[in-house]
Each structure stands twice: as C-alpha cells, then as structure tokens.
Structure 1
Amino acid sequence: MMFRSSLLVAMLILTAGARPVVAAEPPVDFSREVLPLLSDNCFHCHGPDEKGRKAKLRLDTREGAYRVKEDVAVVVPGNSAKSELVKRIFSDDPDDMMPPPDGVRKLTPAQRQTLKRWVDEGAKWGTHWAFVPPTAKPAEPTVKNQAWVKNGIDRFILARLEKESIPPQSEADKARLLRRVSLDLTGLSPTPAEIDAFLADKSADAYEKLVDRLLASPRYGERMASDWLDIARFADTHGYQMDRFRPMHAYRDWVIKAFNENLPFDQFATWQLAGDLLPNATKDQRLATAFNRLHSQNEEGGIVEEEFRVAYVVDRVNTMGTAFLGMTFECTRCHDHKYDPITQKEFYSLFAFFQNIDESGQTPYFTGSMPVPTMLLSTDEQDAKLKELDEAIRAREKDVATAKGQATGMPLAKWLEAGPQPPSDIPGTIAHFTFDEIDKNQITNRVDPKSVGKGSDNPVLVDGPNGKAAALSGESGFTFPAIADFSRVDPFSMSIKLRAGELAERAVVVHKSRAPIDAGSRGFELLLESGQVAFGMHHMWPGNSLKVRTKDRITKDAWTTVSVTYDGSSRAGGVRIYIEGKPAELEVIQDDLWKDITYGGDEPDLAIGFRFRDNGFRNGQVDDFYVFNREITALEVEAITGKANTPVASRFRAVDGKPIDSSLTDYYVNTIDPKVIEARKALHAARKAQSDFINPIPEAMVMKETRTPKPAFLLKRGNYDQHGDPVSATTPAVMPAFPADQPHNRLGLARWLTDPQHPLTGRVTVNRLWQQMFGRGIVETSDNFGSTGAVPSHPELLDYLTRVFIDDYKWDQKRFLKYIAMSATYRQSSQPSAEARAKDPTNLLLSHMPPRRLTAEMLRDQALSSSGLLVEKLGGPSVKPYQPAGLWDIAMGRPKYDQGKGEDLYRRSLYTYIKRTVAPPAMLTFDAADRSYCTIKRQTTSTPLQSLTLLNDVQVVEASRKVAERMIAEGGPDDASRVKYAFRLITGRQATDRETTVLVAMLAEQRALFAADRKSAEALLKVGESKTAAKLDAAEVAAGSVLAQAIFNHDEAVMRR
C-alpha cells in the first residue's frame, strides 16, 4: 500500500508539472482556405481575365504564383520571408501593400496569417474544390453520442459538433415537427384533422408514415415546382417594355407532374435541356424544353432582331450554368471570368449549344402568337382526331395520283385528237393589273373592274415592256384590297414582270402580310434577295413557315417575268418558281408550315413594292401583275410569259402520238380532266378540315434543333454584331472533358452534365435540396460554387450526400428528401442551447433546426388553407387574385387587370399570374422572385410593410373573416375555446395560457368596439368576394376577423420552426 501511495503521489506531482498536449494544427487547405482569399482579394487584377490583368501577374495558376521575375519570387514554397506575396500583404507602405489601400478589398490579420502559414507549409497548390469530382463516398465518421444518430447525415453533423463541444438538440415536439415537414414537403401547413391523426399515432414508424404520405401528395409537386419555377424564370408575360401575355402554364403543369411522378433528376435535367433530341421524343419530353425559352422576349417595334436573339441565347447559357453548375457565367459574355478559370471563348462554345433553333429576336406584336419554335398542346383526343385527318389527307392525295394516272390514258388521247391549242384565257384568274394608267390614285383590275388597286406614296408610271409600267422607290407601291385572301391549304399562283435597278440584299416585291418581324411575316411574300427570287408562306417566321429560293439570280436592269405556283400542300415541294416561263432550280430555306397564314378575318391588303418596317423594291419597276386562285400549270405560265408559241402539233411524236414534253399532259390532267378536278376538290376539303381543326389548338414555346448548326463566334465585348473567332460547341476546360461518344448538341451537353462523376451537377442539386429543408445550403452561396462563393460548411457531408443521391438513390429526389427528413439533424428542436449561442451563433454547424420565415406563397396559402377558402385544383392556367387597383396603369399600354372570379381567387399562389414588369405586390413584399432571371435562393428581408400586408391585404382580411366564421361554428361555446381553436388552426400548435389570456382579452375588446360601430363591422365583412355565413352577428364575426389577423401576424404563423 505504501508503495502504491508513493507512486500515486509521484504521478500526481509529475502530472501537475507537465505541459498539456496540444493537438497539431492541421495544414492549411488550399482549396477551402487559400483559394477563396486569393479569389476575393487578388483575382480581380491578377486572375484569369487577361485583358484586366495587371503587372502581367497571375495568381490563379501555379505557374503564375511561383513566377520569378528579376530575381523576385511571388511565392517561395516553404519560405514566406522570401515570398513577395507575403511581403506585400504585410506591408504598411501604400506603394507596396496589397490589396491596394485605396481599394475596397481588405485582408484581415487572420487571413494574412493563413496565407503566410500556407507558404511556410510549402505552398501546396491545388484545384478549386468544386471542380474536383466527388469520386468516392466519404466514410461516415465515428461519434460518441450514438444514440442520437438516425442515419449517415447525423454522423457528419454530430462529429463536427462534438469537435466543438456543442451538443445537438433533441427532437422537436410532434406538432411542431409535423408543421415543419408539411411546409417543407408540400408548402401547406397541416389541418387540425391531420394534426390530431399524427398526435394520436403512437406507432414507432408514425413519423416515417407521415413523410411518405406528404411525398405521395399531389401538393408535393406544387411545393417543388414553386422553387423550380424561380430557377426556370417562369412568368406569364414576355417582359421588356411591352410585357404582354404568353400562356406557358403547360410547362408549369409538366414540372408539377414530373415532381409528383418522381422523374429522376438526371432525366428531369436532360428533358429540359434536350428533350426534343431524345430518340422518339414524347410530347412531355418536348414540352420540358420550354425551360430554355422562358426568358424575357422583346416585342418592341424597331429593335435590332439579332441583338435580342443573341440576348436570349446568352440567357439560356447563364440559366444552365446557374441551375445545374452553380456557376456565374454572366461576366464571361464580355471578357474572361475574373475569378474562375472560364474564358470568354468557352462561354461562346456553350452559346453554340443553345442557338440552333429557328427563332426571332423580336416577338411579333401584330399577331399575338407564341414565339417559334412551338409545339401543339393537343389533348389525346385531339391527337387522335389529327391522326384521322392526316390519314384522310394521305388518302385523298392517293386519289389524286390515281386519277392523274387514269387521265393520261384514253381520256388524254381523245383530247389530243381534238387538236387542242395553247390556253389564252386562264381559268381562275382573279386579278390582272397592267399599270397602264393611274386614275385618281387607282389602277384597274382587268378581270374585275370593281376590284381596283390603290397607289401608295405616289408611284409613277414609266415606259415598260408592254405600254406603261410602275416605277417604285422602296417606299411607294400599290395595295389591292380584298384580293388573294388565301389560306395555307388554298392553291394559288401569281405572276409579275419586274425590272431590278439594283440587286439589294433584300427587297419586297409582293406580299400579303402586316409586317416582317412585327408580324412574324404572317401571310405570303415574294422577295428578291441579292437577285435571287424567294417565295415564302408563314404562320410565324422562321419556325412555322415554308420558304424556297432560286439558286440563280435574275439579271439587273432586265425585264424578267417571275411566276409562282403553289399547290395547297403546306410543303415547300408544292411551290414552283418560273423565270421567263421556265422552271427555276430551287433551294429549300424552310419547310415546316403547319398552321394558317391568315389573320383570322382581319386580313391585310395584298401589296406591291413596300412593307411596314421592311426594305421595299427600291429602284424597281413592275408590270403585268396576275393573281390566280388555283395552281396554274407550266403551259399556262408559258402563255402568260408569251413563250407558248410553239405549235401544239410539234409537241407530239408523229410515231406514237405521245407528248414530247410533259407540259401538255400536265395541262390536261390538272385543268381538263373532270375526275382529277373532283379528286383535287376532295383533297382541298380534307386539308381545310385539318387546318380548321389545328388552328385553334394552343401552342407552347419549345426547342427544336435546326437541321444544321448555326455558325457561332466569340462576340467581342459581348456585342451581337462584332464577330471574333469562330467557336464550336464544347465545354470549359476546367471541367470534365466532353464525352467522345456524345453528339456536340444539347443532348450531349445534358449527358455530360448528368455524368455521375461530374463535379458540379450532383453537388449543386443536393445542396439546393438541402437548402429547401434547412433554409441554407451546405454551400451557403447555392448559386455560386465558384471561387468567390462560400466554402462548404461540411465538405465531406456534401460529397457523401452527392454519392448517396447519384449512386444509391439513382437521382431519386423523393427518396433523397426522405433521407434528410428522417435524420435526427432535421428533426431537432429549433431552440438553440447556451453552448450553441456562444460558439456557433449563426448555427452554421446545425446544432438545432434553423427557423425561417415562410415564403410568400406559403403565407398566402396558409391563410387560404386555414380559412377553408383554398381550392386545391391541380394545374391549369394562371389566375388573377386580388391586387391593388390601378397597379398595371404604369405598364406600357395601361393594360387592364381583369381580376379573377370564384375559385380563381383562392387557388394556390403557385398559379398566380406573374407580370414581369408589375409582379404581384404582396408576393414581392415577402421576397418572391420577379422571375426576370434564374433565382436559386431568394433573399429574406424583414420590413414593416410585411406586417401591414398581413393586416390589410384583401386576401388575408377575407381569410381572417372566414377563420372567424369557422371559429364561431366549430370552435366551441366560449371565447377561450374559440381562441384556442383559431390559434391552432393557423399555427398548428396549442396556444399557451398566456397567449390565450391575451387573445381572449383582445377578442372581447374588439367585440365591444364593433358592437358600438356596426357600420365598420359590416364594412369589414364585405372585404373579399366570398359571402359571410348567414345569421352570424356582424360584430362577432368582425371581432373574430381582427383576432385572426393578429394570429396571422404572430411569429408562430409567420415562421417555420
């Protein structure tokens, strides 16, 4: 015993005199500690942007940082004393110190020490953490408090908390947990019945069953869509100055459906980026590509179309970069990125993926049609009918072919025996203008004297090939009212003699349309394009059109007869152009016309020589203008041109009596044979039936790849008209190489993005879903994973979750959200411990659930739901709930806000009509995105206006009245029970005794006030369109309404804890 005691004393003495063992400080992490400092403070002047770089010094590359120039080394690994970088950041000399003293960037003493220690530790270089693929799932750390852990998430969170000696919180009470997870997964607070059911369920898996039920609810898709529509910049108007309506709710419906059906995220992303390029793409896959078209689009007349087309493509690149890569690409439109290794050339290589669609930079104002390219939003029943109509057209086309074949036998032979002559009067001629005389600014139609042409801007007559001709200035010409009101299924022809004094790049000869860009060229047009004759028919240029052009040019200053015939097929192959009576070889510019070329009754005049906001036929002359209401034949074209002078007999072989050429046979078959004529009438009727059926079917903007990629260039300073070097579609060098087995189009890009080893897509998606559940991402800057963004608070957890999401869950978002919801981390109480307040005041380490304010949509939906007003109808067009009067008066054209009626007033906020230039004010008050650009994370503000909105907004006041009615009808016989009922109805928990006492007193006070002022009570009850329940005392309902308004403003109602 003496020995043991002596030994113990000795040990105590030795122990008391020993120094405590201090754990070695881990080395500085370049990616997470050094690179952000260099990026924030140095890269602006010494980063990737070559043009903005100063002193030719780069600090974003190993070579630049280790540079030695004139015996001065920027960084000497292991020796901070000899490193110019360290000397400069510690210098007090204004001429030497870095960052410069007159700049906004400053290093703290701790940051300087970090950089110094990094150099002394060897200045180990590395790659920004976000560009390093999370190739393997990190091992779950060991923790002491095993009992708290429910899944892998908790081990990573708890390991960090235990390191900081901060205890995690225990699980929140059931009522609060129910409200939390209901709001996070469905956007709606639970009903009293749902609360009662969950509280009554004592089973071990009660919470898991709750999570499963919420994820299976249709409301889940609406909740998820709310965040995604911010990302997709979805709105109900085009934006810019005109900001007119565009019905794109079909895309929103698809998003809701995709979430509810749990479309894996890799497919969710692929469909939106490139669904149209998938093999045998479905309607849903094509519709999903509207994601790329939801940017603002300009309708303003007189804009430069190409400038805005470029702007649209730029927006697509920026949106893709933010949504899927968590990168900011905006600045690289004009120059190399100042902070991240993304060059301007690489930006335009991404640009090349997104520009290959037939679109216009100006949205047509005069038609109100959806900007092309589009797809039909037909129902299954309509699709079946369209298939039937298309089959009928094909059958009638076969009938015509059969009739033509039969006509070339005996009927043709008998006709030839009669000795036919070249046609003189051509059937179907509806107009012939010779321009021989202008009388009172009118010219005569030789076919119908009552149908005259009218001069515009004083056209003059000059000597022509046959008498007089009209000389045009480019601004002057003629209009021909009520002539040539042809649809796309009507065969027609026209012919005109013209003389071009110059072969301009573009000259309008004949047209029937309101404008080119402003009307999408709807109608038909005959143009000269650098001397080539072009004919087009358009529903909306360039995506719903047909256009052909002659390969040869006409001769300058020579009179030329140009004739065009069209067969009513809506195909480019149905157009023939004749030059001097001979068929011209044509090139097809566009061949995708499937909706009508008319304006629905308000048709423009046929015109020659000029067009609104277009290049007219300057220094041109015209004569002998014909219009026919049928497709004339080649022989008839020859007759018009004056070339059909060859004797008919010489067109036949004497041996067998067959035609030498096909023109005479064609003439007989198409103008003489009765069976062919009848078959063609039936074909026209079938085409018209199809056209009449398809025209009213709405459309949605989508992507539709052009047959060949458009040339792409680096645009100097981002200017649309300053082309630099050509570029091809590929991805930035700092990211994984583009897969060799994928096409260099949007589909290849989507597959590159969703490659399981891509360093960004999975992390960005996981981080955003984490943000949805916790209010803050593991990377707080969820829209910026670049070097200026925040570093992950739990980097290993982020990589772990990324691999779980991709490898284990196969991009399954519902399963992943359940994984988060089931964790002890998510289920914690929101009440911080004393240790957490002291050591982690911002709750970065998640020692408790971060409380946060409800979103704008959740607040309004909560009011509607608790009041019983909410209409839970899924999908459909946007609705217009209450809005302050006159708000739209500031918008261009002072459009009228037609407030909705009935259930439209009570739909979920997801369906609220969003006008970009005048977004819903109550929504903006609570920080809703205006949808002008891609938004990953909304800002959160706290303003007096928010409380005023919850007190005075019509929707809230009306909801408060309905809560009061429910309180009276269902809350119980006395004030205390009614107050408790209303409080629980809105907040989801029981009121405390103190809260009950305060609210009971308030109710009594308001009852007395309204009893003395019944006029005010009745006025309050009239707010909103819903009716107050019969036989209820006005003062009682009004008092209850004010009580409900107060509860809606209560912290428990506004916050999710």
Structure 2
Amino acid sequence: MLSSSVRSLVLAGLLSLASVAAAQSPATTADYEYFERKIRPLLSEHCYECHSASAQTVHGSLKLDSAQALNAGGDSGAAVVAGDSDASLLIQSIRYEGDYEMPPQGKLAEQDILELTRWVEQGAYFPPAMPGSHTAENTASGIDYEAGRQFWSFQPLSQPELPPVDRVDWPQTRSDSFVLAAMEERGLAPTSPADKRTLLRRLYFTLTGLPPTPEQVEDFVADRSDAAFSKQIDRLLDSPEYGEKWGRWWLDLARYTDRTASWLPQTTQAHLYRDWVVNAFCDDMPYAEFVHRQLATDLLPSTGPEDIPALGFIGLSPTYWKELKLPSEIIKVIVADEWEERVDAVSRTFLGLTVACARCHDHKFDPISADDYYAMAGVFASCRLSERPLIGEEEFAPVQAARATVEGLEAEIAKLKKLKPIPQEKVDSLTHQIAEIQSTTEHYDTPMANAVIDESVHVVRAGKTPQEGTQLEYRAEPYDLPSFIRGNPNRPGPVIPRRFLTVLTREPQAFQIGSGRLELAQAITSDAASLTARVLVNRVWLAHFGRGIVDTPSNFGRQGGRPTHPQLLDDLAARFIAQGWSIKWLHRELLLSAAWQQSTQGSQADPDNTWLSRMNRRRLTFEEWRDAMLQVSGELTLSRGGPAVALEEPDNHRRTLYATVNRRDISPTLMIHDFPDPNQHSPQRSPTTTALQGLFALNSPLLAQQAQALVHRLDREGLSETEPRVERIYTLLFARSATPNELALGLDYFEAHEAQGSQGSWETYCHAMLLSNEFIYID
C-alpha cells in the first residue's frame, strides 16, 4: 500500500481532473446520432403538428424543430433546461405535472417520457442546421442523389500526385509527403525521430499490446542495419500476439460479448467468433474477404462449416426480451428495434454511415432515404440468430437427433427426482443411457457457433384478439419490409425490396440470393469500395497516430468530421485496395513513415497536433496495462484461444482479451477503465481520468499481486543487492536504464526504510513504479 500522504495527493489530483472533465461536455457526434434515432421521431410524431415551422398555427410561439428555436423558447419561457429535467417545462408538460399537459390528446407512453427525460438530462443536444442539409440533398420533393454523390466521402478514389515539399530528405513513404506538405503550408516542421528504445516500445504496444523484453530492446539497439526497424515490424506482424491485439481492436466495433441475456441462444461458445477474428488478423485475410465472411460466410462457395464462427458479427447481436403474452403490436416494435441495431452496426462499422437515423424519416443530413433504410433492414428481417455446428449438415443430423434424445431423457430424470421416494434405479438407468448415447455418437460434442440462418421473422397474433398474445413465425422465404410510417411497424407503408443504398450505387438492384446478406457484403466492397476503404484506413490510422484523418471514424457523413489530409486518405485507400486489401501492408506503410517515428517532444505551435509535427503520446488501454504488468512480473500466460475466464479470478494470468465480457453484467474493473459498452458499436475508446481509477490503482488486489510478483521475479533472478534490483526494474518496465538521479532516489528510499526497520518496502516501490506515468503512457 502507498503511504496516506501519497494517496491523498493522488486522489486530490484525480478528483480535480474529474471535476474539470465534467464541466467540459461539448456535444459529440454520438449525441447527435442519439437525437436523430430516438428524440426527433418522438418530437415529430407528438409535437411538430403544433410546435414547428411547418405547423399551421404555432401554439405558444414555441417551436421544437431546430436548435435555435429550442433555445429561444416560447411565450412561457425556455422549454428545456439542459441537464435539469425537473426544471424543464417540456418534461413537466409531458409528465402532466405543470400548468400544461402535452400532448393534449393523451399522455405519452412511459418509455417515451423516460427517453425525452434522458435526453434533457444528458444535455438536450440538438444538431445544428447544416449547410445543404435540406436545400441540396433532402429537398421537399425527395433526395437529390446526384447532388449527394458530390460529397467528399462518396466520391470515387483517385491516387493523387505527390505534393512538392522543401525537406525532400524527410519523407520515408508516400504518406510522409502529404503530411510534410500540410506542415510546411502552415509554417510547421517535423520534430526529431524518437530514440530506438522509445521507438521499439511504441512499436511493440502498437502491434502486440505488450512491452518488449530488455533483451529484445538491447538486440534492436545493437542492430545498426538499415533494415533493423523493418525486420522488427515483420517479426511482430507474424506473431500470434499481433492477432490478439488487433482482434480486440475489431471486437470493439463488433460489440463482442461472451455472455448475454438468458433469453438468447446460448453464448457459451461465443469465443469461437473472437478466436476467428484473431486468426483472420494473423493470416492477413484480405479485408474485403473479412467483410464477406462476417456477413455471409455460409453463402460463399469457398468457405466451409469451420468458418461459421465468422457469422458472430451478426450472431452475437444484442436482442431484447419479448414477452409473448403481450399484444403483437408491442412485440413488432421490439423486433423492429433489433433490426435497427443490426443496420446501425453494419452501416457504421463498414461504411461509416448512420443509416439507422433514417428509420423514421429521410436522413436529415445525408442522402439516405427511409426507403434505403428499409431496403437494408429487410436483409436482417430475413435472417435470424441461431447456433450452428462446425461440421456439415449431413454429419450433424445424427448428432442433432442424439441431442434431442438426451434432452428428453434429462427432462424425464428431472421429473423422477421430484418423486418421493426417488426411483433411483430408474434414474441410474436413464443416466446410463445418456452416457452411452454421448460416447457412441460421433461428433456429439461438436462446438456450436453463434451465427445466423436465412429464415425471415414474422410477428403475428396468437389468436384473433390482441389479448391472446403473440407468436413468432420463421419462414423460409425472405421478407421485403414495408416502409414503417415514422418508424412504427404498426403503420406499414409501401413494400421496399431488399437492396443496397441508392447513393452508393447508380442503379440499385433488388437482392435475389436468400436474405441478401451476401449481396450486401459484396456491395460494401464493390459499389462502396471507395468509402469502405477510406473508413478502414482511417480506423487503422487512428489506432497508430492517436487521432484519425477524419475525427469521427464511424461517421463519414455531413455531421462527421472533414479529413485533415484528404489527399493522403485517398492515396492510402487507393493503394490499400491495390495491395489486395491487406491490413498488414497498411500497418507497414504507416509504421515505416517518418511521421510515425517522430518524437513526442515537438513544437507546441500546433497544440492539438492536427498537422502531425510530432508524435502523439497516448495512455495504455486497460488491457495493455494489465497485460504489461503480468509480463514484467513474469506471470503472463500466453495460452491462445478458448473459453473466456472471469477477469477477477485470482489465478487468471491470461491476456485480458480472454477475460469474460458480459453484456448485461460487465466487470466493474473493465467498466471503470473505459471499456466500451458491448451493447453497441464502439468507434473508439474515450480515455477518462476518474477517482475510481485512482482508488483501483492504489487498492486493487491486481496491483498488489503484481507488485509482489515483480519482487519475486527479482528474487528468482538472484538479484539481492539494492542497486541491481532498482536497475532491473527500470529495464523491465521502461525499456531503459535508470538515470543517476533515479538510481540515487531509489537507493535513498531503501536506505531510509532499512533504518526505520520498515517491512514491505520493495512491494511498495514496485507498486508505485507500476502506477508511474512512464509505465502507463507510450511516448
């Protein structure tokens, strides 16, 4: 444990930082996406008839259809007090608590009231009107797709000429020329290269999520060849640790979970998808194929049943409880919400577009119509989640029959055990039968992957009246959805054939193969290849440089950011496709650049480092921090794949990738360390500094155990003298030797503790070092 004075100082600093962060909460793209998907439809359905610019009579001079109107309020004053729902007239009115009861024809559903209350509490963010959002693409007569295709992210890729630069000796790759040209245009210059020790530590964490060993650092420092760094990149890209690090990166986007709600198909084999992703990165599976397999590997002639885990991208989708005693009108909304989630995850992950914002109306900013939304949603309405075996259908047929028999026998045993006295002889006989069936049926224990099958889902009444409940019917034929009026499945409009987005293809053709999953996947990498490549390249750039060329990695629409280096993005994306969609090629291109190899100690003339005149320092993710602690203490277990293990298990020394992710009951340790919500697609981690993190660092069993294990490692290595022990800690943790001043501080510390007869000083010292900025940050 650290001393009380040190603990107080750390907590004071953390609380101060937390309070500053809380006071600074500008609207994010996610806030605006939430408004478009959840809030605008409610306002449109229940409020705009009387409180919008299109209303025949604006009641109370109050409009709720723009940010400006909302801020202006009406005759009774402000309608909303951001962050305070109780003080907001809008919330008082829909609760029927104040002078007004709105809407007057009847109180909103409780869920709708809660949604609007949540919006106000979170800041009542309302997207500002954007140039061209209603005058170019989204006109009164519909969407002008030709105008929409002029937007930068929908343009075809071109490989631009390299721009001229003054410092012709600086660029190491094509990318450097674009970066340097942007710097020089603004009077900036690149900083010096990072030293070799810093560079190798940065490379290891970037590609593997683990630190280098002291021996690996020394070998690299001693290698004076021109190809020394390139060889390190290739070696790490060929390591299994690379697949594990970048597999976790992808799982954030895929909202991966090991455990989920009890009403889902079982997820005891969810790790099959995680392991498939890891192996795909290790094998450098072309990204186009990576997309195809995750959406439709079962429909590809080149893949077999062993590839079924790839379908976990959809097969592990969040689903919502459906109480079938309720009327079908309610269940239809729940099922439609599930389709919306899948449209959102697929469109944002692969295309960087918020297609789900068009469920209730044409997209307010992008050239995406409600018909486009339902054309895509029909794909997911035409397939359902299901567990599927990793063997062929013919091989699995006897297994399926045997499992059904065993299930019946187990049910019979359960009934017998309720009798008194229990007929033990009969129970034993049935138990023996079960064991015999299991041992004699070939492939009985074959794993079952979370996947999908092409069966459309239909919600129908169980009887003639709503009071008789609901049933779900699964049909072999695909399901072209009607366009739901204002997103309500109980108000169907015209039927929309399943197809791709209009803005991304000149003449959209109706999908013909089953659900359309394969045609959707192929369109993403053909019709939308330029956009898909830009999105992926930007994601990898963000992971390596700490900021994207586009700062909204899952929104390449009008509400998203604009590229800081548009020609660079296009050049990389075009070459990425030309290189066979190879992600390993992309890594090499970025890591060999002079821009990536810069020091973090550059000029402050560009405080946000928008123009990359230095490298960005970044904090380790929790997974990297925990894995690094386990490695330097000598306790890391590098076993690969398989079922997840609870993170807090005392003997869990596996990489954090293999810790259980529970969608409904996420580990508190992960939760306080910025782990993404596994209920939804997460475009990037959002680092925070909180008091809870400080308390964890000071008091958690993990830190105490790893500090103790680090001391034991020093003992095992035969280091008994103080000076070599301190030196070894510095090389293990920081990939460098201690400076004379650092060494003197360490020696003084232990000398003082020995004079006082204090116990446990080595554990305290190691604990503090594991919490140090130099260990937790990458330069």
- Name the TM-score class by shorter chain: 0.7 to 0.9
Match of 1:355 in 2: 381
Are the structure 2 counterparts of residues 719 and 688 from structure 1 closer, same or farther at C-alpha, using a change threshold of 3 Å? farther
Identity %: 31
Cα gap change, 1:345/1:248 in structure 2, threshold over 3 Å: closer, same or farther?
A: same
Counting only pairs closer than 5 Å after superposition, residues 1006-1021 of structure 1 correspond to structure 2 as 1006=753, 1011-1012=757-758
Counting helix residues as a fraction of each chain, which structure ranks higher?
Answer: 2
1:800 paired to 2:571: yes
* Structure 1: tracts of 5 or more residues without a match: 1-35, 58-88, 116-123, 360-371, 394-486, 491-538, 540-594, 607-684, 883-898, 1013-1034
With normalisation by structure 2, the TM-score equals 0.73
The residue aligned with 1:953 is: 700
1:737 aligns with 2:506: yes
For the residue of structure 2 that corresponds to 1:373, the secondary structure is strand
> Structure 2: which amino acid aligns with 1:974?
E
Asked if the contact 2:505/2:527 (under 8 Å) is kept, the reply is: no
Alpha carbons 2:647, 2:667 under 8 Å: kept: no
Query: Are 1:724 and 2:493 counterparts?
Result: yes
Quote the residue 2:88 is aligned against: none
Q: Which amino acid aligns with 1:842?
A: D
Q: CA deviation at 1:727?
A: 1.4
Any idea what SS the aligned residue of 2:483 has? strand
1:172–1:829 CA contact under 8 A, matched in 2: yes
Matches of 2:263 and 2:612, distance apart in 1: 45
User: Aligned pair in 2 of structure 1 residues 309, 598: CA closer, same or farther (>3 Å)?
Assistant: farther
Residue of 227, 233, 258 corresponding to 2:255 = 233
The answer as to whether partners of 1:240 and 1:917 remain within 8 angstroms in 2 is no
Partners of 2:272 and 2:692 lie apart in 1 by: 34
1:751 paired with 2:773, answer: no
Q: CA shift at 1:691, angstroms?
A: 8.7
Relative to structure 1, the CA distance from residue 692 to residue 242 in structure 2 (aligned partners, 3 Å threshold; closer, same or farther) is closer
3-state SS of paired residue (1:714) = strand
The amino acid across from 2:574 in the alignment is R
1:879 aligns with 2:645: yes
Q: How does 1:232-631 map to 2 (within 5 A)?
A: 232-239=254-261, 246-279=268-301, 281-298=303-320, 302=324, 306-357=332-383, 359=384, 373-377=386-390, 387=395, 595-596=404-405, 598-603=407-412
Do the aligned partners of residues 488 and 604 (structure 1) sit closer, same or farther apart at CA in structure 2, a change above 3 Å counting?
farther
Partner residue, 1:500: none
Deviations 1:101-147 (A, max 9, x none): 99977999xx9xxx9xxxxxxxx987563443333211111111011
**What pairs up with 1:856-875 in 2 under 5 angstroms?**
856-875=622-641
Structure 1 CA distance, aligned partners of 2:734 and 2:170?
A: 28
- CA shift at 1:602, angstroms? 2.1
Q: Greater share of strand residues, 1 or 2? A: 1
Task: Say if 1:342 and 1:107 are closer, same or farther in 2 by CA, change over 3 A.
Answer: closer
Question: Alpha-carbon deviation of 1:1008?
Answer: 5.7
1:780 to 528, 551, 571: 551
Aligned equivalent of 1:700: 449
| Separation in 2, partners of 1:985, 1:101 | 55
C-alpha distance in structure 2 between counterparts of 1:920 and 1:104, whole Å: 30
Query: Shift of the alpha carbon at 1:599?
Result: 4.2
2:761 is the counterpart of 1:1039:
yes
1:943–1:307 Cα change, 3 Å:
same
Find the counterpart in structure 1 of residue 222 from structure 2.
200
* Aligned residue number for residue 584 of structure 2: 814
Counterpart residue number, 1:169? 191
The residue that corresponds to 1:1000 in the other structure is 747
Structure 1 residue 743: Cα displacement: 4.1
Compute the RMSD of aligned alpha carbons.
4.1
CA contact (8 A) 2:267 2:450 kept: no
AA aligned to 1:373 is: S
Unaligned runs of 5+ in 2: 1-28, 56-67, 82-123, 136-145, 416-433, 456-475
Q: 1: CA distance between counterparts of 2:715 and 2:289?
A: 50
Q: Aligned equivalents of 1:947 and 1:858: distance in 2? A: 17
Given the two structures, how large is their TM-score scaled by the length of structure 1? 0.54
Cα separation, partners in 2 of 1:923 and 1:328, compared to 1, 3 Å:
same
Partner residue of 2:532? 761
C-alpha contact (below 8 Å) 1:171/1:827 kept by paired residues = yes
Q: Which amino acid aligns with 2:295?
A: L
SS in 1 for 2:628: helix
Partner of 2:713: 966
Change (3 A) 1:145 1:323: same
1:164 is displaced (CA, Å) by 1.0
Residues in 1 aligned to 2:243 and 2:155: alpha-carbon distance in whole angstroms: 30
User: What does residue 608 of structure 2 align with?
Assistant: 842
Deviation at 1:740? 5.3
3-state SS in 1 of match to 2:646: coil
Aligned position for 1:770 = 541
Aligned to 2:209, which of 181, 187, 190? 187
- What one-letter code is carried by the residue in structure 1 that aligns with 2:291? A
Aligned partner letter, 1:701: N
Residue 874 of structure 1: how far off its partner (Å): 1.1
Alpha-carbon displacement from aligned partner over 1:985-1021 (angstroms, at most 9, x marks no partner): 1122233333333333334445566x44xxxxxxxxx
Change (3 A) 1:739 1:1005: farther
What's the counterpart of residue 478 of structure 2? 709
Q: Secondary structure at the match of 2:685?
A: coil
Residue 351 of structure 1 aligns with an amino acid whose one-letter code is A
Q: What are the equivalent positions in structure 2 for 1:76-95 lying under 5 Å apart? A: none
Deviation at 1:692, TM superposition (A): 4.0
Query: Could you tell me how far apart the structure 1 residues matched to 2:478 and 2:127 are?
Result: 47
| One of 975, 982, 992 as aligned partner of 2:729 | 982
Write out per-residue CA displacement over residues 598-625 of structure 1, whole angstroms, 9 at most, x where no aligned residue: 345123999xxxxxxxxxxxxxxxxxxx
Structure 1: distance between partners of 2:263 and 2:638: 34
Give the equivalent residue in structure 2 for 1:3: none
1:1044 to 1:94, Cα distance in 2 relative to 1, 3 A: closer
Residue 236 of structure 1 and its aligned partner are, at CA, apart by 1.4
CA 960–932 in structure 1, closer or farther in 2 if over 3 Å, else same: same
Work out whether residues 438 and 444 of structure 2, in 8 Å CA contact, stay in contact via their aligned partners in 1: no
Distance in 2, matches of 1:293 and 1:107, equals: 36
> C-alpha separation between the residues in 2 aligned to 1:236 and 1:956?
25
Among residues 537, 561, 565, which one is paired with 1:790 in the alignment?
A: 561
Structure of higher CA gyration radius: 1
Q: Is the 8 A contact 1:489 1:691 kept in 2?
A: no
Distance 1:156 1:186 in 2: 28
How far, CA to CA, are the matches of 2:718 and 2:151 in structure 1? Answer: 57
- Report the equivalent of 1:854: 620
**In structure 1, C-alpha distance between the alignment counterparts of 2:168 and 2:701, rounded to whole Å:** 51
Report how far residue 241 of structure 1 moved.
Answer: 9.2
